[in-house]
Amino acid sequence: MSRVDELLKQMIDVTENIGLVVSEKKRAGKKVVGVLPIYAPEELVHAAGMFPVGCWGGAADISMATKYLPPFACSIMQSVMEYAERGVYKDLDALLVSTPCDTLKAISQNLIYACPDQKIIILTYPQNNKMEAGVTFAKSEFAKVKAQLEAIAGTIISDQAINESIEIYNDHRRALMEFSEIIANNPGVISAVNRHYVIKSGFYMEKLEHTKLVRELSELLKEKTNNWTGKKIVFAGIMAEPNGLLEIFDEFQLAVVGDELAQESRQFRTLVPEGSDPLERLARQWQNREACSVILDSEKKRAKHIATLAKAKQADGVVFCQMKFCDPEEFDYPSIKKACEDAEIPLLHLEIDQLSDSAGQYRTRIQAFHELLGN
């Protein structure tokens, strides 16, 4: 087994065995906080000496979650509620829930009822993030989260500890940016499935450890030569899952050279700015975030961002992964479609649903898109 394969195996193993990761942390005496999409100040969890673990749903047969959500709710949140009802999260010391969309607002309250013995920490972001009043509000929300995390950890979280955690997380973001750039410059050097594992595994590993693995992998991939003869695409949307979907892109030699997915690059493309007040720094990071479906975007910057990204990466097309029943993403799609048309970039619209097997439909649509790009 090559060193590249060894590194990928480590990342795949933690991603496919999240329960084991949590159990090992608990046995080591570490408290674990589940973090729901899309944005959360993980640095505060880290600074408290606790371990944040991503809660992004997954494949599940929905039965118990129907008590809380209608069938037309986002599939990520349906599976999160199903897992909560089944006790999948019972070993977590808390759940941290931000509320940038209507469904997450409902989930924050549903979890309080569904998990009465678990601490639910709710963070409300100002969706108009450019106003100074929004910065002040975000800072006050981070202060409330910090106080609740201190109560769980049984310790005071110092400003120094938060600033140190911010630097660790910023370095992790830079490592993923560098990795993404290497893949963009050498398409096909890693499969779409493995590219996803590299990024997603960061939700289930200590950031220092994951940063080290990503940097080592990046250096090894720099040395690999790959005369790519296929096409290049950019992903947009909330997430590009399941693996069966990504395997179809690999099958048709469609290399992923960039993304603006909420589960991927939106997590690491915006660094926390410099400063001495850590909560102000986190609030300024929120102010700096843009081109996102769950943040006020009256100028439709996201549409232009996606088209510009595709051009910059010399992509042959854009694949919009529309999370089923996600209203913010549906609202953005018309402007994204127009921006791609204006830039003469082919666009494929795929409906993503964690709760159903749509491999056959995906294959037909992707094959047709591949033929379009070939012509």
Tens digit of pLDDT for each residue in 109-167?
A: 999 998 899 999 999 999 899 999 999 999 999 999 999 999 999 999 999 999 999 99
For 114, the token pair is 């569904």
* Amino acid code (one letter) for 65: A
Q: Which of 24-28, 286-290, 333-337, 352-356 has the lowest mean pLDDT?
A: 352-356
Tens digit of pLDDT for each residue in 15-59?
A: 999 999 999 999 999 999 999 999 999 999 999 999 999 999 888
Q: Please provide the DSSP assignment of 160-188 as one string.
A: HHHHHHHHHHHHHHHHHHHHHHHHHHSTT
> Structural domains in the chain?
27-159 (3.40.50.11890)
Cα–Cα dist 259/56, whole Å:
18
Q: What is the pLDDT of residue 375?
A: 64
Report field, pTM of the whole predicted structure over 0.85? yes
Query: Tell me, what DSSP letter sits at residue 89?
Result: T
The answer to whether 284 touches 271, Cβ cutoff 8 Å, is no
Band the pLDDT of 238: cuts 50, 70, 90.
very high
Q: Which one, of 3, 8, 43, lies nearest residue 285 by Cα?
A: 43
3-state secondary structure 190-240: CCHHHHHHHHHHHHCCCHHHHHHHHHHHHHHHHHCCCCCCCEEEEEEECCC
For 166, the token pair is 């911010």
* Amino acid code (one letter) for 62: I
Residue 338 CB burial class (10 angstroms; 0-12, 13-18, ≥19): middle
Q: What is the pLDDT of residue 250?
A: 96
Q: Is the pLDDT of residue 192 over 70?
A: yes
217-242: b (≥16 Cβ within 10 Å) or e: bbeebeeeeeeeebbbbbbbbbbbbb
Query: Residue written as tokens 């929905």?
Result: 62
